[in-house]
């Protein structure tokens, strides 16, 4: 049973949980009673179920979770593309011309995202800026309350990868005007496309141009002057190092990152979203059949080697987030996050490290740390209840029972 419960903002709500993962450290606490007011956590204290006063157990908005359930903060996916459907890239793009059709598709994908325990996402951009439109429509009540950190249109170098992601430029002169335009559109962060994508024909190769260092540094400086964090699509050792030196705020994908660049990222507090599932999804049906056995070997080796770097990134002190690239071929909105977390579990990370990446660290990366990411007074009342003990095994997330969200 996957149900989404919207907590009423205009009344007090109470939730009692037999177990809860509390604070930024996700400390396991027993018998927790949460008081919620105005959609935010007002208080939490430990009280046994039998000792709850009648004013609470008789309250019309009191939720008591069953034995065996654990309450933890809602999950966050820090890299999605709401403009794409995760099934058919060309069909999704054609649908952009039919507003009714793409809005209905997005509505379904928002529903699936919330049903997967994800309360907030950061969108990595599309050339039409549809992600920003969806964000504005959510605020008007057109869609369910998924919180979206939008980038609108991405910035890319002319002739480089990602014509579906955003607008291009061919000289540094156009940078200030473009950054100004994206900031004025209402984007929360700026997305830059620093490199192309990983090749499945030659191991270790990344296709496409790399954005020149001078332009990239200029973009970062201009974005900072508008108060925008920079989310940088970068794969290949050279492109990642260039982005890190330019001082971007997060590296997206980051395939073939070198240890010394991870160290530099840790020093500069640059976050990493490894996005394993878009590559791993190629290794299963229906995509697997599209590749030759040699290409499947390259795909497998690419993401297996990538997974091995997660633990060393954490050991260096890199803020490790989680993003799925949901919307990319084979990466479905909502369900992809759990798949990504299960891939993290193959990388020697503890369940706590994995859950922190998807909650407190992701909240900071997407700029919503005052609302999401931890069970703490003052933050939004946004939680998932799962069966079992997620700190012992992240597979517990498979048994999502309820997602509590606030308006």
> Would you tell me the crossing angle of helices 213-225 and 175-184 to the nearest 10 degrees?
40
Q: Kindly provide the residue ranges of all beta strands, DSSP E only, lying in 57-153, ordered along the sequence.
A: 62-64, 69-73, 75-80, 118-123, 147-149
How distant, in Å, are the alpha carbons of 11, 13, 14, 246, 407 from that of 38? 7, 9, 12, 41, 9
Name the closest residue to Zn ion (Cβ): 124
> Between residues 325 and 340, which has the closer beta carbon with respect to Zn ion?
325
Instruction: Give the binding site for Zn ion (CB under 5 A).
Output: 124, 325
Query: Residues near 258 by Cβ (< 8 Å), separated by ≥ 6?
Result: 237, 240, 241
Distance CA 187, CA 125 (A): 10
Please report how close the Cβ of residue 12 comes to Zn ion at its closest, in angstroms. Answer: 40
> Between residues 197 and 219, which has the closer beta carbon with respect to Zn ion?
197
User: DSSP secondary-structure letter at 280?
Assistant: H
Please report how close the Cβ of residue 125 comes to Zn ion at its closest, in angstroms. Answer: 7
Please report how close the Cβ of residue 395 comes to Zn ion at its closest, in angstroms. Answer: 27
Please report how close the Cβ of residue 232 comes to Zn ion at its closest, in angstroms. Answer: 11
> Between residues 142 and 207, which has the closer beta carbon with respect to Zn ion?
207
Whether residue 211 contacts residue 193, with contact meaning beta carbons closer than 8 Å, is answered with yes
As to burial, measured by CB atoms within 10 angstroms (0-12 exposed, 13-18 middle, 19+ buried), residue 201 is exposed
> Between residues 32 and 343, which has the closer beta carbon with respect to Zn ion?
343
> Between residues 151 and 261, which has the closer beta carbon with respect to Zn ion?
151
> Between residues 219 and 385, which has the closer beta carbon with respect to Zn ion?
219
> Would you tell me the crossing angle of helices 293-316 and 259-267 to the nearest 10 degrees?
40
DSSP H or E stretch at residue 200:
none
Please report how close the Cβ of residue 352 comes to Zn ion at its closest, in angstroms. Answer: 27
Nearest to 320 by CA among 362, 282, 283, 277: 362
Please report how close the Cβ of residue 55 comes to Zn ion at its closest, in angstroms. Answer: 49
> Between residues 145 and 253, which has the closer beta carbon with respect to Zn ion?
253
Distance CA 71, CA 22 (A): 9
User: Which of 168-183 are b and which e, b meaning 16 or more Cβ less than 10 Å from the residue's Cβ?
Assistant: bbeeeeebeebbeebb
Please report how close the Cβ of residue 133 comes to Zn ion at its closest, in angstroms. Answer: 18
> Between residues 49 and 93, which has the closer beta carbon with respect to Zn ion?
93
Please report how close the Cβ of residue 281 comes to Zn ion at its closest, in angstroms. Answer: 13
DSSP H or E stretch at residue 146:
none
């Amino acid at each position: 049973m996957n149900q989404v419960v919207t907590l009423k903002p205009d009344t007090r709500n109470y939730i009692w949980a037999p177990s809860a993962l509390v604070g930024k450290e996700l400390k396991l606490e027993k018998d927790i009673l949460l008081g919620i007011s105005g959609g935010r956590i007002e208080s939490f204290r430990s009280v046994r179920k039998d000792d709850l006063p009648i004013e609470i157990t008789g309250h019309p908005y009191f939720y008591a979770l069953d034995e065996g359930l654990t309450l933890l903060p809602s999950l966050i996916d820090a890299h999605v593309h709401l403009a794409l459907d995760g099934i058919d890239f060309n069909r999704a793009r054609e649908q952009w011309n039919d507003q009714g059709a793409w809005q209905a598709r997005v509505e379904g994908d928002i529903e699936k995202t919330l049903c997967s325990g994800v309360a907030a996402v950061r969108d990595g951009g599309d050339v039409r800026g549809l992600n920003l439109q969806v964000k504005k429509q959510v605020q008007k009540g057109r869609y369910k309350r998924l919180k979206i950190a939008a980038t609108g249109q991405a910035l890319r170098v002319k002739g480089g990868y990602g014509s579906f992601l955003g607008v291009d430029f061919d000289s540094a002169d156009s940078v200030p005007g473009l950054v100004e335009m994206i900031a004025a559109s209402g984007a929360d962060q700026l997305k830059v496309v620093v490199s192309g994508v990983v090749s499945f024909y030659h191991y270790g190769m990344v296709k496409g141009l790399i954005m020149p260092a001078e332009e990239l540094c200029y973009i970062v400086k201009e974005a900072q002057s508008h108060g925008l964090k920079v989310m940088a699509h970068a794969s290949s050792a050279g492109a990642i190092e260039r982005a890190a030196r330019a001082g971007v705020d997060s590296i997206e994908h980051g395939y073939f990152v070198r240890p010394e660049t991870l160290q530099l990222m840790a020093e500069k507090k640059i976050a990493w979203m490894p996005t394993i599932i878009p590559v791993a999804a190629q290794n299963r049906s229906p995509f697997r059949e599209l590749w030759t056995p040699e290409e499947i070997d390259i795909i497998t080796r690419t993401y297996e080697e990538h997974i091995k770097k997660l633990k060393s990134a954490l050991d260096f002190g890199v803020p490790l987030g989680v993003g799925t690239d949901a919307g990319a071929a084979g990466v479905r909105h909502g369900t992809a996050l759990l798949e990504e977390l299960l891939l993290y579990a193959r990388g020697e990370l503890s369940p706590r490290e994995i859950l922190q990446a998807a909650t407190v660290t992701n909240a900071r990366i997407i700029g919503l740390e005052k609302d999401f990411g931890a069970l703490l007074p003052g933050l939004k009342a946004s939680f998932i209840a799962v069966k079992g003990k997620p700190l012992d095994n992240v597979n517990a997330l498979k048994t999502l029972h309820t997602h509590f969200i606030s308006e």
